[in-house]
Structure 1
């Protein structure tokens, strides 16, 4: 199978009706960081809450000040909203395509760590790069999940669509593929999120299950310029046309 590594987003959709279940890896491995987050959010320390969320005003925090363990749950792939998720546009995909995303996408959350697109998570807020109390999320999850992810991904092809920051959570050691997007010969940075979302959408619509199938996939607006192989990484460079 093909597994797609993907980034989260600062924005979240509220609500949810999913039932609690075991997340990718194990819930026990996340217990310390989730408890630390919840203790800050449920405290009366407004400065600590604002720092954690990355907001300047407490009024902006209110939507996220909820007991993490008694909050409505939604699948991760439906929870996030932002540029990549806007271009994924999951609400216009059919049930089979959404199921593909839930089973084959691994999102690297700043709170929950690596989770499947179908894993049920609460509405939370952690500004990228922030510690959670005394815990550094990327180090916490790299230490606890590298071995588990190596085992989980052992027999899969890997397409890494994460932003570079999330390499800190997990470094792929087996052969894998990344994408780079060029516009007028220059690397696209912020809007790379949009094209990652479009690629993920094309994967779901095409039910792509291997890198071999992916290489035959035509994606509107993208044209392969070159393919580079550096050690265990294959980088496909696209021109935006």
Structure 2
């Protein structure tokens, strides 16, 4: 089982690892294509004045220090996941089974080494970066998805990059209303608890006791199981 997560706009700075190189990322076979996209962003960064969407750091992305993606992102979901406080086995589970859909780098694993960057959701650095990611990563993810079910905890926006055919999704309900913004916290909580329990099947996943989350219905449609859950 693989867990799909959205990135966060909030990120930690710095890093103790060297700048990006072929060993920084999962999916070595498409490294050059990934680099082509990053180079386009890098070039656009030098001329844009759009600080809101692209930040004010004009240094090359290729020159910046890196750290694990799971430690780089620091938004709500990642706060509730709280990776640093997990035991080693659970951290390893996250490293090996969580895929993050970066706006800039495309599909990366939790342990991939990435630099600090700014690219707001939906912003286009002179080209449709989401379409480019989709073309590169769809064949790779389809092959994985044929063998493994995906636990898709992303925001719907990231279906622009990839929409799985075999997946579990969660809908959070509170006081008869769908939870929207705070859903990020529940996605982080779910990821943490899944990492601790390490289920190997949907049946094992549904046997997990998720604090503050109660499964009330499972809706199946075209290979997607939507788990409707009531939250406190």
Range 112-121 or range 18-27, more displaced: 18-27
- Please list the CA deviations of residues 23-79 of structure 1 after superposition, one character each: whole Å capped at 9, or x if unmatched: 2332112122100111233x2x351x52642xxxxxxx34x4332112111111111
Range 87-96 or range 229-238, more displaced: 87-96
- Please list the CA deviations of residues 85-120 of structure 1 after superposition, one character each: whole Å capped at 9, or x if unmatched: 111111211222111111100100000011111111
CA 1:84 to 1:35, structure 2 compared with 1: closer, same or farther past 3 Å? same
- Is 1:83 aligned with 2:76? yes
Range 200-209 or range 15-24, more displaced: 15-24
The residue aligned with 1:139 is 131
TM-score by length of 2: 0.92
Give the match's secondary structure for 2:225: strand
The residue aligned with 2:51 is 50
- Is 1:69 aligned with 2:70? no
Structure 1 CA distance for aligned equivalents of residues 145 and 109 of structure 2: 12
Structure 2 CA distance for aligned equivalents of residues 139 and 176 of structure 1: 22
The residue aligned with 2:147 is 155
The residue aligned with 2:123 is 130
Structure 2 CA distance for aligned equivalents of residues 69 and 181 of structure 1: 39
Structure 2 CA distance for aligned equivalents of residues 212 and 78 of structure 1: 30
Aligned pair count reads 227
Structure 2 residue runs of 5 or longer lacking an equivalent are none
Which among 203, 227, 239 is matched to residue 218 of structure 2? 227
Which among 23, 26, 32 is matched to residue 25 of structure 2? 23
The residue aligned with 2:207 is 216
Q: Which runs of 4+ in 1 moved over 4 A?
A: none
Structure 2 CA distance for aligned equivalents of residues 152 and 71 of structure 1: 31
Structure 1 residue runs of 5 or longer lacking an equivalent are 54-60
TM-score by length of 1: 0.89
- Please list the CA deviations of residues 140-177 of structure 1 after superposition, one character each: whole Å capped at 9, or x if unmatched: 1111211111113331121100000001100112x211
- Please list the CA deviations of residues 183-240 of structure 1 after superposition, one character each: whole Å capped at 9, or x if unmatched: 0111000010010000001011112333222111111001111110112111000001
Structure 2 CA distance for aligned equivalents of residues 37 and 138 of structure 1: 12
Structure 1 CA distance for aligned equivalents of residues 103 and 151 of structure 2: 20
